[in-house]
Structure 1
Amino acid sequence: MDLKLAGKVAVITGSSKGIGRETAAVLTEEGAVVILTARNEESLQDAVQYIKDRTGRTVDYVTADVTNEADAKKVIAFAAEKYGHLDILINNAGSAFAENFENVSLDDWQNDLNLKLFGWIHMIHAALPELKKQGGAILNLTAVAGKTPPANTSPTSVSRAAGLALTNTLSKDLAPYNIRVNAVCIGLIRSGQIERRWQAEAPEQSWEDYARDPKFNIPLGRIGDTREAANVISFLVSDAASYVTGTAVNIDGGSAPSL
């Protein structure tokens, strides 16, 4: 299927590693112009090289902290000034701070909301003037815990639930401008965090054996790969999904108890 992404301009936050970096690679393979952004310049440079090795193309990057409104505006201004338009915004920057409610400080709450909720808000506010010119797509990455929060997951599951509500309301507010807004809810996907857990729990096992351990209770029988997540994200921001908005797709191998 031709996703018709050639020439589309996409900004991806938190794209120096993991799913963000892999999504950037897939979009680049599909012909999109991709702008990476994250806080660490060295990691961004590594991501640029990774994508060049994969695709033969060089992508741009802007060092930025999405919790800072001025930085968010800087990223979008770079895209608009260099390429004249913006078609896709993917909000991927985030972290997973999970604890029992009684152990979470007010600073912990504020830091989590600043990154996972207000980071989205800053980027969307900055991007809207460009997206409204010709329509486009916003894709927010969150976690299945945002739909069905388990115990001891404050503040992260609460921030993610707020992000899902934001996604749904924005899909209605922005539909008149032909701006689609969707989310993906990530389950267990191979990442630096998961690999560290593997090395701490079972360094004697191969990754393949560890990823298929029944303790993870994944119906498809294994931990997912970043490429699998990136493929779904790329579809949702493409014209192939032109009638999809206001939804949150689970990418979790069937493990979430919610739809």
Structure 2
Amino acid sequence: MKLGLAGKVAIITGSSKGIGLETALHLVREGAKVTICARNIDMLKVAAKHIVDETGVEVHYIETDVTKEADCKRLITSTVEKYGRLDIVVNNAGTSAANPFEEVSTDLWQEDLDLKLFGAIHCSRYAIPHMREVGGGAIVNVTAQAAKTPPASSLPTTVSRAAGMALTKAMSKDLGPDNIRVNTVCIGLIRSDQIEKKWKRNSPDLTWEQYSKEAGGNIPLGRIGNTAEAAQVITFLVSDAASYVTGTAVNIDGGLAGAL
């Protein structure tokens, strides 16, 4: 399948590790020019070197705090100055914050919304004019499958992610006439630093494969997913192969979600 990503320019937020870094690797391998960003410059440098080691291709990297609108604007401007255009934005920045309702302070609500919702809003807002200039583009907002059917003690994350899903659908309607496609991927249980720490702390005698099957016992596919499986779906959604796909939410959760 030809993805048509060669020469396209992409920004991926929260891309110093995990799904963001893996998506950067996939896009680079498909011939895209990529900017990675995160709040920790040291981790960004390590990520950029990892991409070079794996692909032989250098990427642009810029320290960015997407909770700050000025940083989002600078991220977009820097990328366009570097590469001359912008085609793709993957709004991936986010952390896990799951608590009972009464334990979530006003500050935590605001921090979560600033990171997961307003980060996507600001990055998209400044990217859209540049996408119009090149005849279209693709935006993927990374959300969570739990946003569709929030469990107890899942706040504020599930609310922020649900807002991201609504943002995706509304943007897809507004931007469709400009050939700018907007989709979301709803992430389930994917291997991460947090999960690996839990594995090594609680089950050091198990291999990853054994732990994955044990921890993923309630998942229909019977295991925890890996970052490449998420990155492959994101890569498809931003590619020409998905040219008629917009306004949709794709679960990447091994079948765990109780909603389509």
Deviation (angstroms), 1:214: 6.0
1:180 offset after TM fit, Å?
A: 0.1
1:128 is displaced (CA, Å) by: 1.2
1:1-259 to 2 correspondence within 5 Å?
1-133=1-133, 134-213=135-214, 216-259=217-260
**1:102 deviation in Å?**
0.6
Note the C-alpha offset of 1:215: 5.5
**Contact 2:13/2:20, CA 8 A, preserved across alignment:** yes
Structure 2 unaligned runs (5+)? none
After superposition, give the CA deviation of every residue in 1:85-113 in whole Å (9 maximum; x if it has no partner): 10000000001111000111101101110
Amino acid at match of 2:72: A
1:225 shift after superposition? 0.9
Query: 1:67 corresponds to which letter in structure 2?
Result: T
SS at match of 2:117: helix
Query: How many residue pairs were aligned?
Result: 259
Give the deviation of 1:52 after TM superposition.
Answer: 1.1
Cα distance in 1 between the residues matched to 2:78 and 2:103: 40
1:200 is displaced (CA, Å) by 2.2
- Corresponding letter in the other structure for 2:158: S
TM-score with structure 1 length normalisation?
0.98
TM-score by length of 2: 0.98
Which blocks of at least 5 consecutive residues in structure 1 are unaligned?
Answer: none
**Which amino acid counterpart does residue 22 of structure 1 have in structure 2?**
E
**Aligned-partner residue type, residue 15 of structure 1:** S
After the TM superposition, which parts of structure 1 deviate over 2 Å for at least 4 consecutive aligned residues? none
Which letter does structure 2 place at the counterpart of 1:189?
Answer: I
SS at 1:229 equivalent: helix
Contact 2:60 2:79 in 1 (8 A): no
SS in 1 for 2:206: coil
- Cα RMSD over matched residues? 0.9
The one-letter code sitting in structure 2 at the alignment partner of 1:252 is: D
Residues 50-94 of structure 1: per-residue CA shift (max 9 Å, x gap):
111111111110111001111001011011112111000000000
- Once residues 212 and 67 of structure 2 are traced to their aligned partners in structure 1, the CA distance between those partners, rounded to angstroms, is 33
